[in-house]
Amino acid sequence: MLNASVLAEWTPNFLRMVMSPGLPGSAGSAPPGCGGVMGTEAAHSVELAVHPQGELGSLRTWLTLALPPGVEVRRTPGTPGPGEQGAFDVLSVLAASTGLVTVIKILPQYLRAKRSDISVTVSVRGKKVTVDATNVEEVMPILERLLDD
Q: Which CATH number does the domain housing residue 75 bear?
A: 3.30.70
Per-residue pLDDT at 42: 66
Q: List C-alpha distances in Å: 29 to 17, 20, 69, 102.
A: 11, 10, 9, 17
Per-residue pLDDT at 23: 37
Per-residue pLDDT at 136: 87
Based on the structure, what is the number of domains in the chain?
1
Q: Structure pTM? A: 0.69
**Which range marks the domain in which residue 80 is found?**
4-148
Per-residue pLDDT at 94: 93
- Regions of the chain short of the pLDDT cut 50: 1-4, 6-7, 11-40
Per-residue pLDDT at 41: 57
